[in-house]
Amino acid sequence: MTRPLILAVAQSGAVQLSDSRQANVARLCKMLDEAADNGADIVVFTEIALTTFFPRHYAEDRAEMDEWFEREMPNAATKPLFDMAKRRGVGFCLGYGELTPEGQHFNTSILVDKSGNIVGKYRKIHLPGHDEFDPSRKFQHLEKRYFLPGNLGFPVWNTMGGNMGMCICNDRRWPETFRLMGLQGVELVMIGYNTPSENSQDASETLEQRKFHNRLSLQAGAYQNSTFVAASAKSGNEDGHHMFAESCIISPAGEIIAMTKGEDDEVIVAEIDLDDTKFGKSTVFDFARHRRIEHYGPITTQVGPRIPDGSDNT
Ligand code: ING
């Protein structure tokens, strides 16, 4: 038995502060059309796909940043994307800033099925950066200022022929993210990322090191949970701030099977078989047979490290 799926990743090139949502959604529609022309079942868009990466900009009054958030989804700006996806019979994953009716702000991703229904929502749990202006940094990364930590856990949905999950950007650096979805049998993890090419606190870190850490995080997550991973970058130069690309599709064996070549809007497509996740899940990563949870307690009871003081060198 096989479960073929044609998977597309739609990488977004730079979105400038001055770009309108309408113009940006038109770019996303163009990529969805291209993916659909290539037979795609699902298209993975990036994190904060509708606007520039606004957490790099400081505002004393946080309410000033509400203009970068969506109060409902779909809405007037995104309706063309939902309509086109439904017309083309394509599902998609989309990242954006969510402002709830209760006034809460999240870095959110939704999963939309081929009928245009929102079947899943994820809110970014691991928020990097800081919450106050930090003059010591070369540039700001204020996700802790503008977003609350996600409150929906790491759900997995059985939809569009498989077990699908989502996470967002910094989440991919934390193995707990993938493992919690692995414990729900995830077969495809869809991720968007907006990752600066420089380290705002360490000028010595090279672009190649940062790209390596991206690939390492994605490939490890895929391999250690025997799942496909599809990761979509926002890349290029946004108002003088560069973010790297390397959007990619990764196999359950942890191998990169497709990667973008440039830093602009670019679609990559791979024909995959979700049944290729089964071998790893039934052998080396047969969680039920191999995991020893009686030893894992500190992972959920301890936040930071407890360093041994050397007195107990038995
Ligand atoms: N961006 C970056 C990311 O996790 C970062 C922030 C970069 C953190 C490099 C640590 C190291 O890819 C977002 N939006 O999370």
Beta bridge partners of 95: 109
141 is a domain residue = yes
313 is a domain residue = no
- What residues are in contact with ligand 1 under a 6 Å CB criterion? 128, 169-170, 173, 193-195
Atom 7 of ligand 1: nearest residue by CA position = 195
**Could you read off the pLDDT of 184-238 as tens digits, one per residue?**
999 999 999 999 999 999 999 999 999 999 999 999 999 999 999 999 999 999 9
**What is the total count of domains within the chain?**
1
* Ligand 1 atom closest to Cα of residue 168: 15
61 is a domain residue = yes
pLDDT at residue number 313: 75
**Could you read off the pLDDT of 62-77 as tens digits, one per residue?**
999 999 999 999 999 9
Burial per residue of 57-68, b for 16 or more beta-carbon CB atoms within 10 angstroms, e otherwise:
beeeeeeebeeb
CATH number at residue 228: 3.60.110.10
303 is a domain residue = no
**Could you read off the pLDDT of 89-127 as tens digits, one per residue?**
999 999 999 999 999 999 999 999 999 999 999 999 999
Judge whether residue 289 has pLDDT over 80: yes
pLDDT at residue number 312: 76
Q: Over range 11-34, report the average pLDDT.
A: 98
42 is a domain residue = yes
pLDDT at residue number 183: 99
Share of the chain above pLDDT 70, in %: 100
Distance from the alpha carbon of residue 84 to the mean position of ligand 1, in angstroms: 31
Q: Which of 124, 134, 140, 173 to mutate to test the pocket of ligand 1 (most atoms within 8 A of CB)?
A: 173
* Ligand 1 atom closest to Cα of residue 124: 15
172 is a domain residue = yes
289 is a domain residue = no
Distance from the alpha carbon of residue 2 to the mean position of ligand 1, in angstroms: 36
119 is a domain residue = yes
Q: Over range 130-159, report the average pLDDT.
A: 98
Distance from the alpha carbon of residue 310 to the mean position of ligand 1, in angstroms: 34
Distance from the alpha carbon of residue 293 to the mean position of ligand 1, in angstroms: 30
pLDDT at residue number 314: 74
d(CA 70, CA 50): 9
Query: What pTM did the predictor assign?
Result: 0.98
pLDDT at residue number 75: 98
Active site residues per annotation: 47, 124, 169
- Write out the residue range of the structural domain in which residue 271 sits: 4-283
d(CA 185, CA 163): 7
